[in-house]
Structure 1
Amino acid sequence: MSRIDHINNPEAPEPNSVVPSTTAFVLDEQNHVLLIRRTDNGDWALPGGAHDYGEFIAETAVRETKEESGIDIEITGIVDIYTDPNHLIEYSDGEVRQQFSICFRGKQVGGVPAVSAESSDVDWFDRADLAGLPINPSMRLRIEHGYDRGEAPYVG
C-alpha cells in the first residue's frame, strides 16, 4: 500500500480516520539516530506505526521498532505528541488519516538492524547527514525535537 503525506495542503482530501500511532527516537552511543527507509513512500523515517488492540501505547513503539528495524528498545520518555489536523496521510486504499502520533524516546537494549516488509533499509545516521536525506517535514520535526528538546515534551 502506498501513501502520500499532505502537510498544509488545501487540496488534500478530507480525513476519514484518526488512528493512534507512535514513532521512536533512538540514539546510539555516538548520538546517531535510528532511521528506516519506508517501503510505502521511499522516505527515511523514525520507526513506528499504528496502535494495536490490547497493548499499552509505549508497547506499540517497542513492537513497531522491532518489526521495522530489528532493534529492541526500552522506552525512556516522550519526545512529542503530534496531532496537527493539517497533516493528513492518504493511503492507496482510500483511507485519509489525520495525524495522531506520540514520539517516544528509547534506548537500544538488543537486536541488530534488519529490514522488513515496511522498511527497505535500516541505518544509524549522524545528525549532520540528515539534511541530504528524503525525510518528510513532520518526521524531520520529530527528529529535531528529539535532539533539541531534552526531556521536556512538545505538544502540537
Structure 2
Amino acid sequence: MATIEYYNDPDAPAPNSIVAAATAFVRDARDRVLLTQRADNGLWMLPGGGQEFGEYIAATAVRETRAETGIDIYITGLVGIYTNPNHVLSYPDGEVRQQFSICFRAEPRGGALPAAPGSPRVSWVSHADLNGLAMHPSTRLRIKHGYARLPEPYIG
C-alpha cells in the first residue's frame, strides 16, 4: 500500500503525528528554481525532507538539498512556515502526518545536478516553465511565495 496524500479533503483521516520538515526555494543567477521530480508519483517539488535529531532546521534544508540534487546551498532567508491542518499524509504503517514545513530561501554555492536515488530528475526550471510541470498545490504555493519576495515570511 502506498502513501496517500490528502489536501483539503473532508474525507481525510485525522492526523496522529507531526514531523518538522524543511524545503529550500533555491534560485540561481538566471532566476530559475531548483526542483526535483518524485519517483513515486512524478510530481515536481522543492528539495527537502524531515529534520533529524541534533540538527538545526536550516541544516535540514541544506542537507536534503545536497542529497536530493547534488547542489550545495546557503540559506539567505525564510519564505514561510506551512502548517495546513488539512494537508495530511497517510502512511501504510498507520501514521497520519499533518504538514509542518519551513521553506527557506537559498542560493547555490556549488555542486552538480546528478539524479539522486528516489529523484529520477533534477532541474533548474525557469519561472515561465513552471506551469507546464505537474506539482502539488502546496509546492506551487511555496514557489509563488518564493518568487513574490513578500515583505514578511508567509505563516499559514
Give the TM-score of the pair, scaled to structure 2: 0.95
Identify the residue that residue 3 of structure 1 maps to in structure 2.
Answer: 3
Alignment of 1:20-99 (within 5 A): 20-99=20-99
Aligned length in residues: 156
Tell me, in whole angstroms, the C-alpha distance in 1 between the residues paired with 2:88 and 2:55. Answer: 25
Q: Give the gaps of 5 or more residues in structure 2.
A: none
Shift of 1:31: 0.3
Shift of 1:116: 1.7
Identify the residue that residue 119 of structure 1 maps to in structure 2.
Answer: 119
1:64 partner amino acid: E
Aligned partner of residue 88 in structure 1, secondary structure: strand
Per-residue CA deviations over 1:68-93 (Å, capped at 9, x if unaligned) read 11100001110000011011112333
Tell me, in whole angstroms, the C-alpha distance in 1 between the residues paired with 2:10 and 2:46. Answer: 26
Give the TM-score of the pair, scaled to structure 1: 0.95
Shift of 1:128: 1.0
* Bigger mean CA offset, 31-40 vs 112-121: 112-121
Per-residue CA deviations over 1:54-112 (Å, capped at 9, x if unaligned) read 11000000000001111000011100000110111123333211000000001100100
1:17 matched to 2:17 = yes
Preserved contact between residue 35 and residue 124 of structure 1 (Cα < 8 Å): yes
Q: How many percent identity over aligned positions?
A: 57
1:144 partner amino acid: K
Q: Give the gaps of 5 or more residues in structure 1.
A: none
Shift of 1:151: 5.3
Tell me, in whole angstroms, the C-alpha distance in 1 between the residues paired with 2:63 and 2:141. Answer: 23
Tell me, in whole angstroms, the C-alpha distance in 1 between the residues paired with 2:110 and 2:151. Answer: 23
Aligned partner of residue 84 in structure 1, secondary structure: coil
Shift of 1:117: 2.2
Tell me, in whole angstroms, the C-alpha distance in 1 between the residues paired with 2:148 and 2:3. Answer: 29
Label 1:121 to 1:93 Cα distance change in 2 as closer, same or farther (>3 A).
farther
